[in-house]
Amino acid sequence: MEIIYVYTRKRSEFGRPCSFSDRPAEVNVDIPPDPSMASSFILRNPVDSHVQHTSDMSEHEVNTERAEVESRGVNHVEGGWPKDINPQEVEQTIRFRKKVEKDENYINTIVHLGTLMEHCVKQNNAINIYEEYFEEEEMVEVEDEPPSAKTINVIRDPNVTKRTATHLSWHPDTCKKLAVAYSSLEFQQNMKNMSFDSYIWDLENPNKPELVLRPSSPLVSLEYNPKDSHVLVGGCYNGQMAYWDTRKGGLPVEVSAVEVSHRDPVYGAIWLQSKTGTECFSASTDGQVLWWDIRKLSEPTEMLVLDITRKGLLENALGAVTLEFEPTMPTKFMVGTEQGIVIACNRKAKTPPEKITSTYSGHHGPVYALARNPFYPKIFMTVGDWTARIWSEEIKESSIMWTKYHLSYLTDGCWSTVRPAVFFTTRSDGTLDVWDFLFKQNDPSLSLKVCDEPLSSLRLQDNGCVVGCGSKLGTVTLLEISSGLCTLQRNEKMLATAMFERETKREKILEARHREMRLKERARSEGQESEVEERPVESPQEVLDRARKEFFEVIEAELQRQARAETPTPAWQGTGDGMNRSRDSLTWGRGLGSASAFQVKDRVGEEAAAAARGEESRLPKDKEEEEGEEKDAAKEP
């Protein structure tokens, strides 16, 4: 039953405001009960009914103001003097000390404290309070933990126009400070209002940089001095070198002259192991490596042109993108170039051509990262194109191990400082990969999507637990690695040594095999060249006549074969001839294996001659048979 009630209204009242009033109730529809349906009534027990009664909620978002914290401290040099004593006056302080030392209470207090201190010193000598008793149990627990990483801090470029974080450098002492070089490396993309500043950040207060470094040109590389944490050296976009002393402010102490500096951006600047701690060297895409002493930046102390032809020509030089220097090998260093070649150099060689000792070629594009293994200096890693490759100094032809080809470009990489088989790589899709080659080599042990924009730089703390990743938009993300990836496992050094030695030996065997094959190929090609030289040289007319003669001979042989095929032969003779021919061709095929055009021609000619001889021998026989038949017919009555 459908209940419908129609509300009617005059057309003239459309749009008029409603006027409500009270009125008594009015029954519109009344449905009386039907007694006949009482028999079909079914009692439902229990009865389930659902009622939704929730209070209306609304979602609100509030963006609070960013609280900026400023650290302040007081340097308390000397104090505790009475008000009537001036600490600056030496005579007054000496007089007061003598007076206090003669006091009987002072002597008793010192004697009492001396016995307590003696007890504490003896206790420290007897017990090592930092000794760890359960190292093995902790290692077992660490192995079961899955690899992971968590973000502990994010540092953003404070400027409106974002720039790429091109280089990171940790404070050598505390690791609580991070120096970041900011620069835009895209060609002709620098805007007029783009800042040149780079910053030193305090990780305890990431809202505001601790010190603003103000170079004359944007910094591409920036590095702390490992011997003096107050000094930093930086390579600029315009090729100049500059150094800062944080105690003297944000302006550079000294800058190299433009005419003696690099001509392209300085992509690598590294401190050298020296007695003074003031020497460094730099590399650029202009093809030069320059050595500097920051006490005198007016000119470089030494120069090397990266010309692998060893002619020392700057126009033939390869552009350097990254530098590598191991303090335990003070005379050796390596350079990664734009052409995908790694150049190994020796600074102490007698002549400039001898300074380039060897080259390693294996990438299809620029080598963006180059680092020696901290546990095995003869093993080094390169990052370029879509792969990261591990090399041995002994193998020049190819790398001993490598990662799979990724879908996105690799931008940087570094070794773990605590585990010999673990290394890190960054990609242009914003992913950080952590590889453990002892665990698996086909895929990374941990892949973490750090940000949406490309990652451009990577730097690991000395403790191996915190890694900093710089992005194209100037965001530096600090990640804490799980303990399994930053704790040395049991027998790991031994296993890593065996793995690297095994792969090096395998590559040596393959290299020797390839060399042997190349020598055989060269000898074969030289033999063919000598044969070609011994053969008499034909004139073009002779070659044409010979080709024409061979062509007509092949056509004549083919015509003879067709004529022989059309001539009818007896069944038994055709069968025998076919059997003989098939047997001859089978023997000929087995003996030679393959036939040239001349051999085919000779074979066809022989068959045609044999067929002609067979026909001639058959003709007289046919005449004799006919004469015999005529005689037989004459004898008959």
pLDDT tens across 132-141, in order?
A: 777 655 554 4
Name the residue among 607, 618, 603 with its Cα closest to residue 568: 618
C-alpha distances in angstroms, 77 versus 74, 80, 88, 246, 308?
A: 9, 11, 12, 22, 59
Looking at the DSSP assignment, which residues form a beta bridge with residue 296?
Answer: 293
CA distance 241 to 268: 11
In a domain, 445, yes or no: yes
Q: Give the per-residue pLDDT at 362.
A: 82
In a domain, 449, yes or no: yes
Number of H helices and number of E strands within the chain? 8, 28
In a domain, 67, yes or no: no
Cβ contact 142:430 at 8 Å? no
Q: 578-613: per-residue pLDDT in tens?
A: 434 433 433 333 333 333 343 434 444 444 444 444
Cβ contact 424:481 at 8 Å? no
Residue with tokens 């011997």: 227
207: left (phi over 0), alpha (psi -120 to 50) or beta: alpha
Q: 522-570: per-residue pLDDT in tens?
A: 888 887 766 555 556 678 888 888 888 999 999 999 999 988 888 765 5
Mean pLDDT score, 11-37: 84
Cβ contact 368:322 at 8 Å? yes
Domain containing residue 230: CATH number: 2.130.10.10
Confidence of residue 441 (pLDDT cuts 50, 70, 90): confident
User: Residue 381: phi, psi to the nearest 5?
Assistant: -120, 140
Amino acid at 137: E
In a domain, 309, yes or no: yes
List CB contacts of 325: < 8 A, sequence separation 6 or more: 270, 272, 281, 333, 334
- For residue 416, the enclosing domain spans 149-506
Quote the tokens at residue 379: 């093993």
* DSSP per-residue codes, 541-586: HHHHHHHHHHHHHHHHHHHHHHHHHHS---HHHHHHHHHHHHHHHH
List CB contacts of 3: < 8 A, sequence separation 6 or more: 29
- The H-assigned helical ranges of 301-379 are 352-355
Share of the chain above pLDDT 90, in %: 10
616: left (phi over 0), alpha (psi -120 to 50) or beta: alpha
In a domain, 84, yes or no: no
Sign of CA pseudo-dihedral 65, 66, 67, 70: negative
Cβ contact 447:436 at 8 Å? no
Q: Give the per-residue pLDDT at 533.
A: 55
Q: How far apart are the first and last CA of the chain?
A: 129
Q: 253-302: per-residue pLDDT in tens?
A: 888 888 888 888 899 899 888 888 888 999 998 888 898 888 888 888 88
Half-sphere exposure of 268 (CA within 13 A, CB side): 31
Q: Give the per-residue pLDDT at 604.
A: 40
In a domain, 41, yes or no: no
Looking at the DSSP assignment, which residues form a beta bridge with residue 424?
Answer: 414, 434
User: Residue 305: phi, psi to the nearest 5?
Assistant: -95, 130
Share of the chain above pLDDT 70, in %: 85
CA distance 171 to 148: 25
Q: 467-498: per-residue pLDDT in tens?
A: 999 998 889 999 998 888 888 888 888 888 88
Q: 168-210: per-residue pLDDT in tens?
A: 999 888 778 899 999 888 765 666 778 888 999 888 888 888 8
Q: Helix, strand, coil shares of the chain as percentages rounded to 5?
A: 30, 25, 45
User: Residue 207: phi, psi to the nearest 5?
Assistant: -75, -25
Least confident span in 3-17, 35-49, 445-459, 479-493:
3-17
C-alpha R_g of the chain: 47
In a domain, 56, yes or no: no
Mean pLDDT score, 106-117: 90
Q: Strand (E) positions, 330-487?
A: 332-337, 341-346, 356-361, 367-372, 379-384, 387-392, 401-402, 410-415, 422-427, 431-436, 446-449, 455-460, 466-471, 476-481
Q: 51-76: per-residue pLDDT in tens?
A: 877 777 788 888 777 777 788 887 77
Name the residue among 423, 392, 420 with its Cα closest to residue 504: 392
What value, to the nearest 5°, has the Cα angle with vertex 360 and ends 354 and 362? 160
Number of structural domains found in the chain: 1
Name the residue among 292, 284, 279 with its Cα closest to residue 266: 284
CA distance 469 to 481: 13
Cβ contact 371:381 at 8 Å? yes
Sign of CA pseudo-dihedral 345, 346, 347, 350: negative
Cβ contact 445:402 at 8 Å? no
Residue with tokens 């990662």: 403
Quote the tokens at residue 560: 């003879």
CA distance 217 to 240: 8
Q: Give the per-residue pLDDT at 536.
A: 65
Name the residue among 220, 339, 199, 232 with its Cα closest to residue 283: 220
**pLDDT higher for 133 or 391?**
391
Residue 235 has pLDDT above 80, yes or no: yes
In a domain, 296, yes or no: yes
